[in-house]
Amino acid sequence: MKRILIAGASRGIGKEFVRQCRAAGWTVHATARDAEGCAALAEQCDGAHRLDITDDDSIRMLAEELAGIPFDAILANAGISGDQALPVDDIGFDEMLRVFDTNMFGPLRLITALKANLMAGDRRLALAMSSLMSSISSNDWGTQHAYRASKTALNAAWRSLHEEWAADRICCVLLRPGFVKTDMTGHQGLDVEISVAGMLSVIARLGLSDSGRLIGYDGEDVPW
Amino acid sequence: MVSEMRSKRRIVIVGAGSALGRDLCQRYANDTNEVIAIGLTGGRLEDVAAACGDAPVDLLIFADALDMDAAISTAGRAEMRDLLCRLTYAPFKLAALLRPAVAAARGSVLLCSRETALMQREAVAGCFTDRPFRAAAHALWKCLEVEWRGDDIRMMIVALRDSSDGASVMIEAGRDTGAGLLVDAGGAPLGW
């Protein structure tokens, strides 16, 4: 039986992942930051867990809860946009750290804490949610500087994991969801159902040779 | 109106305490250049920028060299915070604070980085931990290039093989060849 953990599933893309994964026959574990979110998730998946991805104690407790459970895939989906309106001159270190703590430090700490769960699974997919904004070569309009940098850092971290974990045959892949109608985008853009369906189609086809890639919901590689 | 002619080119080198920084200071020190050497000692970046004064800056170089030997999978949050501050935020913030002075000279801002920070390069073992933060600095340098197009400021990143690549390499790579934002030690364009 294929089993997935979706970290950050109380709304938006993560919530839709829970729905579609269950419909596709996955055993689904999912996380939310608070008790209310967990209670809602518990009705929708096979295992609901609390997780604050910015808190190493929270990650450690999750790892303890999941000890011994094999996962075929772990998706680090939790992310924040940061203050999108901040101009370059007004970006302080606190703001940059806040964004990086959730978007890069957290996913990295989470996936390393749960490596044993992946090793016990069959497909060994270490997945992280990236963004077109992480693409330096595609940036011709600026804005959202801290968010962009945090996702670029996530990409680089996952590339390093891909190299470090190659001998363990863990496939480390970044996903690009597209510009999706969520709270983060002010509910403009692509329908979340289409985005997640696309990403699940990508996930279904992933093999070890795909490790280290950044792949869009449409199956296309995103340029670095 | 009489325009004021400056007799010397003003060069600010941040990270002057590093081997590369010291080497750059020595190579640029001559009768045609005024070199301002800045070491990052943990103080407020606003104070560091203020110490450079208000005069136009022709060339601003970030030469903080750092060799790490740690795997990314074991990097702790505190370690990553320090790297974020040193490799990503400090150059970005200082460049922003010194922008008026660089713009006044229609100058250049050059970031010293590593080839191992590039996504398409296989990482050398032991260089994993700084990779994400240098890559993030690259992303921010592109943001600044886009945001500052109207200022006629030239942004550049030179990706060195390692910290032993000398100052002469940096100076040569930094020449305006039209190669674009990211170049290697020879001045040839690189992919991200």
The pLDDT of residue B98 is 96
pLDDT of residue B67: 62
Q: Find, among A91, A185, A85, A98, the residue nearest to B140 by Cα.
A: A91
Average pLDDT in the B140-152 region? 93
Mean pLDDT over B78-91 rounds to 92
pLDDT at residue A84, as a whole number: 83
Mean pLDDT of A47-61: 97
Q: What is the mean pLDDT of chain A?
A: 95
> pLDDT tens for residues A170-197?
999 999 999 998 777 777 889 999 999 9
Residue B172 has pLDDT above 70, yes or no: no
ipTM: 0.94
Average pLDDT of the segment spanning A41-52: 96
Q: Which of A105, A139, A156 sits opposite B135 (nearest CB)?
A: A156
Residue range A38-67: average pLDDT? Answer: 97
Question: With left for phi above 0 and alpha for psi between -120 and 50, is residue B126 left, alpha or beta?
Answer: left
Q: Do B146 and A142 touch (CB under 8 A)?
A: yes
Contact assignment for A112 to B117 by CB distance below 8 Å: no
Residue B137 has pLDDT above 90, yes or no: yes
Could you read off the pLDDT of A131-155 as tens digits, one per residue?
999 999 999 888 899 999 999 999 9
Q: Do B72 and A157 touch (CB under 8 A)?
A: yes
Chain B contact for A156 (CB, 8 A cutoff): yes
What is the per-residue pLDDT for A39? 95
Q: Tell me if A109 and B77 make a contact (CB, 8 A cut-off).
A: yes
Residues of B whose CB is below 8 A from A154: 132
Helix (H) or strand (E) holding B139: helix B131-147
Chain A positions touching B88 (Cβ under 8 A) are 96, 149, 153
Tell how strand B33-38 and strand B9-14 pair up: parallel
The token duo for A97 is 């750290």
Query: Is some CB atom of chain B closer than 8 A to the CB atom of A139?
Result: yes
Q: Are B70 and B56 in contact (CB under 8 A)?
A: no
Tell me the average pLDDT across A78-88.
Answer: 89
